[in-house]
């Protein structure tokens, strides 16, 4: 994985990112077994930050005249085709195949940001959730807030709870919401700091839609762990994550009203944290059914590369050159009535 001197210079200029060998070795072993030939293409993208792409999600509450035409001049185009089963007109995301990122906007109290920089694949869980105006919605693990902001670009829930257990991340979430959502509307959003594993018992059958964007082993950032000891610790704790994810999902199912939908997402390629967690839930909860999301996947297949062979209720976005989005795992489930 040595870089040519020219590319090495380029990388150093962009960001002093150093690949953490212990993490790469671990991934090499695990993902060669799980992804087969696809892993080498994915690895090439994940270990090359200079080829990463960044999308812009426009903020419908702070329109900037001329922004869309200036994006078009720079080679950006709308990310999602109108043929998708669910695509609210107000959700506008722009991407381009060229790598690099648009300048980010700083947080200024009292001033709304015009756009949010994100990995375009992170909008897929929001599109799968299909939130409609007036619904009761829970974002169970909401920080840093990108998906909460995206949900609010799609619809205006009757009740919207954004939950984040971690104190520091919760403050980050509050700041994100404050940066994108105007005053009268912000009062309708409830930011809570509850343990996500307990929400189902505290608020049983209250929500129409629940998003569980679970804590996971974030493959992109873990590869660049600055501290090798921290990396080793993370890899040791990795096997405990699926148990936490399963508990969060169980709680989410309890919080859903019968007929309500649940979307689970992670930004890891790991089968143990993706398919295995969902299979365990489906096998242990009789009142939960998988929901087919192949229409959505088909609709966005121009822009995203997917792992083949996944089931109809799930998808896994694999980063590849020119479509360097993901990793992003998405699964959709529905709670059946108890009769």
pLDDT of 101: 82
Q: Is 267 designated active site? A: yes
Q: Which stretches in the chain have pLDDT values below 50?
A: 1-15, 339
pLDDT confidence of residue 16: 57
Q: Say what the pLDDT of residue 185 is.
A: 87
Tell whether residue 25 is among the known ligand binding residues: no
pTM above 0.85, yes or no: yes
Query: Does 141 belong to an annotated binding site?
Result: yes
φ/ψ (deg, to 5) at 336: -85, 160
Set 51, 216, 267, 285: catalytic member = 267
**Which pLDDT tens digit goes with each residue over 302-339?**
999 999 999 999 999 999 999 999 999 999 999 998 64
Q: Does residue 238 sit within a domain?
A: yes
pLDDT at 338: 64
The answer to whether residue 59 sits within a structural domain is: no
143 annotated among ligand-binding-site residues:
yes
- Residue 146, annotated as binding a ligand: yes
| Residue 255's CATH number | 3.40.50.150
In a domain, 81, yes or no: no
Residue-level pLDDT at 269: 98
Q: Is residue 25 part of a domain?
A: yes
Evaluate whether residue 15 is within a structural domain.
no
Q: Which of 258, 318, 292, 329 is nearest to 85 (CA)?
A: 292
Structural domain boundaries, residue 134 = 21-50+120-335
Residue 180 lies in a domain: yes
CB atoms closer than 10 angstroms to residue 95: 21
Q: Is residue 280 part of a domain?
A: yes
Note the pLDDT of residue 14.
44
181-199 per-position pLDDT tens digit: 998 888 889 999 999 999 9
Residue 64: predicted pLDDT: 86
Please state the domain count of the chain: 1
**Residue 331, in any domain of the structure:** yes
């Amino acid at each position: 994985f040595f870089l040519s001197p020219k590319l090495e210079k380029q990388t150093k200029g962009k960001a002093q990112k150093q690949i953490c060998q212990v993490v790469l070795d671990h991934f090499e072993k695990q993902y060669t077994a799980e992804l087969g030939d696809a892993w080498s293409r994915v690895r090439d993208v994940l270990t090359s930050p200079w080829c990463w792409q960044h999308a812009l999600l426009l903020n419908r509450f702070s329109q900037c005249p001329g922004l869309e035409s200036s994006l078009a001049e720079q080679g950006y185009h709308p990310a999602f085709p109108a043929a998708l089963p669910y695509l609210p007109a107000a959700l506008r995301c722009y991407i381009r195949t060229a790598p690099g990122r648009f300048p980010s906007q700083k947080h200024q109290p009292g001033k709304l940001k015009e756009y949010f920089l994100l990995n375009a694949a992170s909008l897929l869980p929001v599109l799968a959730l299909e939130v409609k105006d007036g619904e009761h919605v829970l974002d169970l693990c909401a920080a840093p807030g990108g998906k909460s902001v995206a949900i609010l670009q799609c619809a205006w829930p009757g009740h919207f709870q954004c939950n984040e257990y971690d104190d520091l991340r919760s403050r980050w979430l509050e700041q994100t919401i404050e940066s994108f959502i105007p005053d009268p509307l912000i009062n309708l959003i409830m930011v809570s700091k509850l343990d996500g594993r307990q929400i189902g018992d505290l608020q049983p059958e209250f929500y129409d839609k629940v998003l569980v964007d679970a804590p996971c082993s974030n493959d992109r950032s873990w590869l660049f762990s600055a501290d090798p000891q921290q990396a080793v610790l993370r890899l040791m704790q990795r096997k405990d994550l699926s148990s936490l994810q399963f508990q969060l999902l169980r709680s989410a199912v309890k919080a859903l009203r019968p007929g309500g939908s649940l979307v689970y997402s992670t930004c890891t390629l790991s089968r143990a944290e993706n398919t295995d967690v969902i299979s365990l839930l489906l096998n242990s909860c009789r009142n939960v059914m998988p929901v087919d999301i192949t229409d959505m996947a088909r609709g966005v297949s121009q822009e995203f590369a997917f792992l083949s062979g996944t089931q109809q209720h799930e998808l896994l976005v694999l980063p590849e050159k020119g479509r360097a989005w993901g990793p992003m795992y998405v699964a959709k489930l529905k709670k059946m009535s108890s009769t």
